[in-house]
Amino acid sequence: MKLFRNEHIHSDAQSASNAHQSLQFNVANRDEFLAQIPTDGKGIEIGPFANPQLHGPNVKYLDVLTSEQLKQRALALGMDPEKVPQISYISNQNGFPDIPEMFDYALSCHSIEHHPDLVKHLNQVEKILLPGGKYFLIIPDKRYCFDHYLAESTFVDIVGAFLEQRIVHTAKSVIEHRALTTHNDPVAHFSGNHGDILSNQHQRVLQAISEFQNASGSYIDVHAWQFVPESFTELIVNLNALGLTSFKITNIWNTPINNLEFFVTLTNA
């Protein structure tokens, strides 16, 4: 476990303000963001499932299941199993396995919000990136996806999960995900239609409680964290100031209109 820095954190507000000013609007969609990735280097995509964003001989893949297991899961969900890539590394509740190679860049798409201990995840990505390596992130904006009614996560929430060495999601996260989420249509969200979460809510809460209890401590896949571009910026600034990550934000792009995701590039100092 990393130690916190001893010095008083005195520049977070200004650092966050400066980072906020770097928010950009010149990426219209995911394809434009992905086009900025220098794919001539060695890369690793984290959590591709049946929809990898990167392709080519220089790309490796890491996921929680083997390729065959992911294909079976894809079939069960009505997805195309042929799109599942060859998984090189399989993670577990302790995070990454031993990865005996280094990469120029990593990418995760709608994955970072699933990690129970986000600080640990960032640390593990740092360790497999060369100095100056980039971590490219595609992150759902909670305002325009099914997380709309959930509160933004704070850096205190995420530091708390790190100190607890959390490896599964809390009952709170499971209940929120099952009972308080709404539709996933960004166009509707942008127009002000956020859906109704009150219908049958008590029954959904009871079902979520039952699911959590029946899991007996095993992992349930839900969103642990909810972000908007500004709150994610503040998170990285604060984690860096605390000495809990060496990552710094190189670029962050605001969520395009009628879209549900924003885009971030972190640099491994």
**Where do the domains of the chain lie, and which CATH numbers do they carry?**
12-42+102-167+222-268 (3.40.50)
Identify residue 253 by its one-letter amino acid code. W
- Assign 81 a pLDDT band (cuts: 50, 70, 90): very high
Beta carbons of 139 and 96 less than 8 angstroms apart: no
Q: For residue 85, is pLDDT > 80?
A: yes
pLDDT digits (tens, 9 = 90+) for 213-261: 999 999 999 999 999 999 999 999 999 999 999 999 999 999 999 999 9
Beta carbons of 143 and 189 less than 8 angstroms apart: yes
Q: For residue 21, is pLDDT > 90?
A: no
For residues 87-98, average pLDDT: 91
Q: Which of 113, 120, 106, 159 is nearest to 266 (CA)?
A: 106
CA 5, CA 243: separation in Å to the nearest integer?
5
Q: C-alpha angle with apex 180: 212 to 222, nearest 5 degrees? A: 45
CA 5, CA 9: separation in Å to the nearest integer?
9
CA 58, CA 211: separation in Å to the nearest integer?
40
Which token pair is 92? 């577990």
- Assign 269 a pLDDT band (cuts: 50, 70, 90): confident
Residue with tokens 């990552």: 247
Range of lowest pLDDT (7-16, 32-41, 66-75, 187-196): 7-16
- Assign 28 a pLDDT band (cuts: 50, 70, 90): confident
Q: What pLDDT shows up at residue 93? A: 79
